[in-house]
Structure 1
Amino acid sequence: MTRVFLFLFFLLTFKCVNAQEPVADTIKYIITVEPKDALFYQRQAKRTKNPTTSLELLKKALSLRTLAQDENWVADVRVEMASSLFKTGNSKQAFSELLTAEKIYTASGNNVSKAEVMVQMARFYEKNALWKDAVKYYQAAHKLHETAQNNSDAANISLHLADIALIQNELTKATNDVSYAVKQYESLENKTGLALSYVKQAEIHRRRKQYKTGESLILNSALPFFRSTGYAAGRVGCFDVLGKIYFSQKRYSEAKWFFIQANTQARSLNDIEGIITSLINLGRVKTTIGDYNLAKRDFKEAQTLADRRNNLFLQANVKDAYAFLYDRMGNELGAENAAGLSAELTDSLNKYSNAQAESARTASVKLSESKKESKSATASSKADSFQIIKLIAAAILILVVILLVLKRIK
């Protein structure tokens, strides 16, 4: 019996030792080295968050372009360069890159990409409160998308046009733009697009003092759609418009509640501009009902956030809110100072916007002059070619005459 146990012990020990012996590795490891060509540098540019680095990588990509990259690829890179240039504050060169890209897309017949360039130009002007130019480029992009039957993109642009119309208080224009968007979104069954449209329609109704209609649109249409699609950012706009609807009707408790909801939702999304706007609205309600200290606290936080973002528009809005507060408190000097600061900030914003517009205009003029020079050079080249042809023809004619004369002499 002892021998049997010993045999089993040695057998198990032998197997364990064998199991520990190294096994030859038969797996072949293949390391793929990514070629550092134009596409490599383009990909690297997209990965980096530093706009200056991105710009250098894109320039490198252009320098390594081969026949595999067509003109549309070049235009795509130009658009990416424009994005980086805008981030570095070089709007003049950025706009120049967009204009170059637009020219290439036009030549290749790529209207979809051309429309996207138009949208970027429009957003540039919209951001700088240059409404006329923004509308011009949005409408051009809208026409291209409509022709290509890109209904979703066309509807999105219509909402931007509606925003501009609302800023200028052109309610009929805003109504038409939103109605177009609603029609397109309905055909596409796009609930988020519809909800965004309903929020704008509610604001139009508020301004027309059609409060019940506006309230119903938010509560019965926009909010349910945003909930079903999970688009939390859209709810901030819903609460904001509802707060304004109730504030316009002097229903201050309800207005305050919805502005608090807008503030809470904005904080959960880290939407700084949404937080600032809701704080200003909250402060205005509190000022109206006499809660001056609480209003001042809201404005102080809004001021801090606006200063951190160095946003002149929001800073001016906060100062304007302070002027409203001091006026209600009977502090004429404080109201005057706050109003003056708001005016100064607005003036600075206008000067900045005008400088941006001048940069864009300069870029446009340069490209236009370049086109004229190109056409002039082409025309001159054609004229030179025609002159050479005339000289060659004359020389041939003279040669023929000489040959005929020599033949007769013989």
Structure 2
Amino acid sequence: MKIPVTIVAIFLLGISKLFAAPLDTLSITGKLLKAPIYSQIANGYMHYDTITDEDKKLAYQTKAIKYTMLALHYFSRAKDSIGLRGCFNNLSRVYRSQKEYSQAKWFALQSNAISRAKGDVSGIISSLLDIASIKMDIKDYPLALSDLNEALKLSTKNHLNRAESAVQLRFAILYNLTDNYDKGDVALKRHDFINDSIRKHDEAVLAARIKAEEAFENKKKFYTANNEKLYNNLYFKRIASL
């Protein structure tokens, strides 16, 4: 079977453009492709906490670190700060699971630094919670309290209710670890109150959306019925006039 000349010409033109492209462009394209692929593979191993077999769990953690490091390398070369932050978060989580607290804290701090540089308040709060949790693991309670206070200030100032709820839960954990049960109860009640408020708000928004959709459908049916009635009236009048 002969291949049409036009297709051959288009193919050759594409190949020529590919080889004519600057090496830097091809290199950047390669980085952009490799980074998310390695990241996706790593994410597949980040479910190690669902595995009960300790040897298999360790194998998953090891592979999660391996592929996250590979993704980190290419995200760094591509100067992708969001990709880097995701890698730092994953590495911090795995190392914390392995009780390698120095490494876990270092990667959490890198994530925090990126969020601060980008002015991402939600990211700052999330990383502060991770850092505080690691400090609680190593019984560095005063510094953990400092991180939580900053996270609380940011969440309330920016009206981030879900973030504040998460902060209050960490406060409850910290206060219970330090035998300050009264404050722990207050923090837990605040956490529950915020969650209840969020639930009621979400339910109200959903109910309003359903009501609006029903009203739209009713109007649609009304206008459709009226249009059909008008059309039928005009049709029969025209027939009668013939």
Measured against the shorter chain, the TM-score band is: 0.7 to 0.9
**Inter-partner Cα distance in structure 2 for 1:195 and 1:272:** 27
Which range moves more in the overlay, 324-333 or 291-300? 324-333
1:285 aligns with 2:128: no
Kept after mapping to 2: 8 A contact 1:203/1:214: yes
1:335: how far off? 1.4
1:203 aligns with 2:53: no
1:317 to 166, 173, 180: 166
The match for 1:368 is 217
Flag structure 2 segments of 5+ consecutive residues without an equivalent.
Answer: 1-28, 52-56
Write the letter of the residue equivalent to 1:204: H
SS at match of 1:313: helix
1:88-127 matched pairs, under 5 angstroms: none
Kept after mapping to 2: 8 A contact 1:195/1:226: no
1:385 to 230, 234, 237: 234
The match for 1:267 is 116
Give the direction of change, closer, same or farther, for the CA distance of 1:198–1:302 in structure 2 (3 Å limit).
farther
**Inter-partner Cα distance in structure 1 for 2:43 and 2:61:** 13
**Given the two structures, how large is their TM-score scaled by the length of structure 1?**
0.47
Q: Could you tell me the percent identity over the aligned residues?
A: 25
**Inter-partner Cα distance in structure 1 for 2:112 and 2:42:** 17
Runs of 4+ in structure 1 deviating by more than 6 angstroms, as ranges, are none
2:64 to 187, 192, 214: 214
The total of aligned residue pairs comes to: 206
1:332 aligns with 2:164: no
SS at match of 1:320: helix
The match for 2:6 is none
SS at match of 1:250: coil
Deviations 1:367-400 (A, max 9, x none): 212221221112112221232134224xxxxxxx
**Inter-partner Cα distance in structure 2 for 1:258 and 1:310:** 27
1:225 aligns with 2:68: no
The match for 2:94 is 245
SS at match of 2:99: coil
1:296 aligns with 2:145: yes
Flag structure 1 segments of 5+ consecutive residues without an equivalent.
Answer: 1-185, 394-410
Kept after mapping to 1: 8 A contact 2:38/2:67: no
Kept after mapping to 1: 8 A contact 2:35/2:72: no
**Inter-partner Cα distance in structure 1 for 2:34 and 2:228:** 55
**Inter-partner Cα distance in structure 1 for 2:201 and 2:39:** 30
Give the direction of change, closer, same or farther, for the CA distance of 1:195–1:359 in structure 2 (3 Å limit).
farther
The match for 1:258 is 107
